[in-house]
Amino acid sequence: MDPVSLSIFVNRINAVCEQMGAVLRRAAFSPNIRDRLDFSCALFDADGALCAQAAHIPVHLGSMAFAMGGVVRHRDWQDGDILVLNDPYLGGTHLPDVTVIMPVFLGQALAGFVANRAHHSDIGADTAGSLPLSRTLEEEGVIIPPTLLGKRGEIDSDCLAGLTRRMNRPEQVAADFSAQVAAARSGRDQLAPLLQGMGLSAWKQHLQAVNDYAERLAGQALARIPHGRYHFSDCMDDDGFGHWDLPIRLAMVVGPDGVSLDFSGSCEQVAGNINCPLSVTAAAVLYVFRCLMPEETPGTAGAFRRIVIHAPEGSLLNARAPAAVAAGNVETSQRIVDVVIGALAEAMPDRMPAASQGSMNNLAMGSRHGAGWDYYETLGGGTGGHARGRGLDGVHSHMTNTLNTPVEVIEMAWPLQVLHYGFRPASGGSGQNPGGDGIVRCYRFLETAEISLLTERRRHGPWGLSGGGEGMAGRNRLNGRDLGGKCHLRVRAGDCLTVETPGGGAWGRAGRA
């Protein structure tokens, strides 16, 4: 293919994903999807290989890219089928992330799939916000194996009712499921004219060309990493059940054929829910290497052909069912990024940043009284300084790419007041290029509720690089009393919860020219 035709094709299939996202945002009922944009959309070929993606949530997209092939193979797909799933051990990430998949046909031939994944703050857990301090997968909510939600493009109302019956607010969940289906239909309908105009043979040739192009660009990026063997280790603060400083270790080999990453020696799976299915580990690894590639690199399977990942089964990074995984997706994924960046920094210290805040600062809350309510959000923090400048203040980083929930939305939708929301001064590490500052967010409860906090970097601050200082560790407090990093508790009207997020590490020693 000539470069112009290739560029046009890439932009057309990327636009399908962007359009899906726009429909999902407009149609969603819950603020978590509508306002925080906690969703992702992608396009896959007939074998489940990633073809295109919108710039949404890295942990969603990377895990879908890794696991989609196993989900779509060995099924007798029919035009208009609607598949739904959230099982982390069968292609999901954690239970709140629900994936909807629709096949795309050209005539009688299967051409590919459109898919979207969205985070539901109510997925039927006993605790509000459906992000509990859990020990087993079943405690985290309703487990949905790959299930046919509808046929011929229409939702099976009985199936939908069966899935949402255990939810605490089934009407809202059903509305968001319907929004995801509408977005998938939109993607299918947007793709259909392109397929009809090209024909199946040309479609496959174009996808092959895009994958080959992505592999070439990725290969050029990987070739700039000096060949060698690199090591790095970091740790998770705790699992919420009394196990502390849980190691994640990496041995990375860079050679002429690509990069292999071996996480042997990392902690075995634990009682708490910071365990990861392998798809989440892969998502974190692929995200880091995607950041090294040129911006124009197509987001396809070809970009990742030269990256090999090994994590021992039964470890924190490749847990066996039914281990709890709710925080593995949102917290452990962030530490995996830190470890991969740390190993790359051994090879390229001037190209890699210091550690960012290393947590999504997950806050789930709500009530089961009366009509009940569920609320979930993640909070930004500081990013790491780097050779070209200081880190950013108060932003979401790495595996999350959401917005915050606006104060006006919080106070309109839930019995909460936001008393304070601002930067956390001097929380970034000090050095030649300081780390970015975290944030402070303080909530006052207007009625009795329950809260769950799943946060990291409360014991160990984000590390600096090239002599730079650590970022300040985060802190969670209720009425001034320290809560630690992971907890579940009940609060009364008038109680105040304050979350102080970590700052980023600094790059370079202070005063160095």
Note the pLDDT of residue 168. Answer: 87
Residue from 3, 4, 9 nearest 207 by CA: 9
User: What's the one-letter identity of residue 313?
Assistant: E
Helical H segments across 237-352, by residue range: 278-292, 333-347
Note the pLDDT of residue 263. Answer: 98
Buried b (16+ CB within 10 A) or exposed e, 261-295: bbbeebbebbbbbbbbbbbbbbbbbbbbbbbbbee
Task: Write the secondary structure of 367-423 as one string of H (helix), E (strand) and C (coil).
Answer: ECCCCCEEEEECCCECCCCECCECCCCCECCCCCCCCCCCHHHHHHHCCEEEEEEEE
Tokens of 456: 């990291």
Torsion sign, CA atoms 221, 225, 230, 236: negative
Residue with tokens 């916000």: 129
Residue 490 sits at the vertex; the CA angle it makes with 489 and 491, to the nearest 5 degrees, is: 120
Among the CATH numbers 2.30.30, 1.10.357, 3.30.450, 2.40.50, which is that of 3-214? 3.30.450
CA–CA gap between residue 290 and residue 217 (Å, rounded): 10
Tokens of 362: 């997950």
- Longest alpha-carbon distance in the chain: 68
Residue with tokens 């740390």: 342
- Is the pTM higher than 0.75? The answer reads yes
Note the pLDDT of residue 513. Answer: 56
Task: List CB contacts of 370: < 8 A, sequence separation 6 or more.
Answer: none
CA–CA gap between residue 263 and residue 251 (Å, rounded): 7
Residue 270 sits at the vertex; the CA angle it makes with 68 and 486, to the nearest 5 degrees, is: 95
Note the pLDDT of residue 512. Answer: 67
User: What's the one-letter identity of residue 161?
Assistant: A
- φ, ψ for residue 97, nearest 5 deg: -85, 105
Q: Where are the domains of the chain?
A: 3-214, 353-513
Q: Digits of tens for pLDDT over the chain (513 positions)?
A: 788 999 999 999 999 999 999 999 999 999 989 999 999 999 999 999 999 998 767 777 777 778 789 899 889 999 999 999 999 998 889 999 999 999 999 999 999 999 999 999 999 998 888 999 999 999 999 999 999 999 998 999 999 999 999 898 899 999 999 999 999 999 999 999 999 999 999 999 999 999 999 999 999 999 999 999 999 999 999 999 999 999 999 999 999 999 999 999 999 999 999 999 999 999 999 999 999 999 989 989 999 999 999 999 999 999 999 999 999 999 999 999 999 999 999 999 999 999 999 999 999 999 988 778 999 999 999 999 999 999 999 999 999 888 888 999 999 999 999 999 999 999 999 999 999 999 999 999 999 999 999 999 999 999 999 999 999 999 999 999 999 999 999 999 999 999 999 999 999 998 765
Residue with tokens 């590919």: 112
Stretch (H or E) spanning 356: none
Are 234 and 342 in contact, with CB atoms under 8 Å apart? Answer: yes
| Residue 77 burial (C-beta neighbours within 10 Å; 0-12, 13-18, 19+) | middle
Residue from 205, 206, 237 nearest 358 by CA: 237
Tokens of 171: 């009407």
Are 184 and 20 in contact, with CB atoms under 8 Å apart? Answer: yes
| Residue 197 burial (C-beta neighbours within 10 Å; 0-12, 13-18, 19+) | exposed
CA–CA gap between residue 275 and residue 322 (Å, rounded): 10
Buried b (16+ CB within 10 A) or exposed e, 212-228: ebbbebbbebbeebeee
